[in-house]
Every structure is written in structure tokens, then in C-alpha cells.
Amino acid sequence: MNDATASKAAAAGRQVASRVPLIFIRHGETDWNREARLQGQQDIPLNGLGRRQAERNGRALAGVLAAGDWRAIASPLSRAAETMRILLAAAGRPDVGFEIDPILKEISYGDWEGLTLAEVALRDADGARARERDKWSFVPPAGESYALGAERVAAWLESLDGPSMIVAHGGILRILLHLLAGLPSHDAPYLATPQDRVVLFTRTAVFTI
């Protein structure tokens, strides 16, 4: 994504943020998270801790979800969809249906998926060094950069027409913080994305619950 495109995407995101509150929840932990493996778009299920994290986030959202109508949307990867089902039940709203949107899939790590960063460095030292120089724009072999992911997410944001709650992935949260909150692209890929917290984007600020 060049500077002009990035600026346009960020502007579009901020316009959405000015009129639509957005709740973001990252899926709960998987065994690959625990092993620090690059999951990307591999369909790895939640583990026991991940299910407890989803329950915790549902309890944290009970009051918010009871107070109004929220459009619920999840990534199609099973770890996100299961997180959504668990948190809605824990929030006392198992009756709420939710949409599945492939736009919310995680950033793809391509040929690196399933590897730890240490394994990547052994197999593709040049690629690992290139990624460290520019994590936002680097494209893994057969994969996707944060910059490319931001293009698809920015277009999706423009389709939102009311309060929305999404369950997706760490890479998507980093992109949203860039598009909606103005987090610089060189900082966004380094941001920690907890699995036991809820992120609320409002007109004026970003809150963690």
C-alpha cells in the first residue's frame, strides 16, 4: 500500500469511527498460540484456556449487549466463530445470531504458517530479516502483508451501518487500530493483542474492557 492509499484507507476508517461504535474481541487461545506458531489462516481450534477467555469476555459484555442491538460478525475460522458462540452464551444472549464474513480472516503468513519465528529464521533467514525491517509492508512467501490486509478491512468498514461487534484475529485488531485510531503503521504490527480483553472503539477514544 503506498502512502496515498494508506492515507485514503485511514481516512475512510476514521469516518466510520465517527458514526459507528465498534466492539472487537480477539478469539481465545489455541494450542498454536501457546506454542507461538504463526497461525495465519490455518483453522486451528480453541483450547481450554481459549474457551475460558471467551466466557470471560462474554461476561464483560453482558451489560453492553443488554443495553442495545449490536450486529455480530465473526471471521469464518473456527476459533473465531466458536469464541463468538461462547461469549454470546456467557453474556446471556445465546439467542443472538451472527454473520460470518471472510474479510475478517487473519492476515495470511503463506508458507510460514505453522512455524515459529525461530523456525522461520532457520528456513528463510533473508525473509525473516526483511520482515523485521518493515513488518507492515512485508509479504511472506505466498502470504499477505498488513498493508494488503488493511485494504480489504478499510473497504469492509465502509459497509458498517450501525453498532457492530466482531470476533476476529490479532492482525485484524492491529489494522483496526491503525485505521480507526491512527496508530502509525510502523508501530501497529508490534502491538500486543490480548485474548482476554474486549476493545471498544467509540467516537472519541478506544477503551479496553
pLDDT, tens digit (0-9, with 9 covering 90-100), for 62-101: 999 999 899 999 999 999 999 999 999 999 999 999 999 9
**Active-site option among 29, 55, 106, 144:** 106
pLDDT per position as a tens digit, 176-209: 999 999 999 999 999 999 999 999 999 889 999 9
- Cβ-contact 185, 148 below 8 angstroms: no
Q: Which residues constitute the domain of residue 136?
A: 3-208
CATH number of the CATH domain containing 160: 3.40.50.1240
- Residue 14 is predicted with a pLDDT of 54
CA 176, distance to chain mean position in Å, is 8
Q: Is 203 exposed, middle or buried (0-12, 13-18, 19+ CB in 10 A)?
A: exposed
Tell me what percent of the residues of the chain surpass a pLDDT of 90: 87
Cell of 23: 466492539
Total count of domains within the chain: 1
In the residue annotation, 106 being an active-site residue is answered as yes
Residue 17 reports pLDDT greater than 80: no
Q: Report the pLDDT averaged over residues 4-23.
A: 61
- 6: pLDDT confidence band, cut at 50, 70 and 90? low
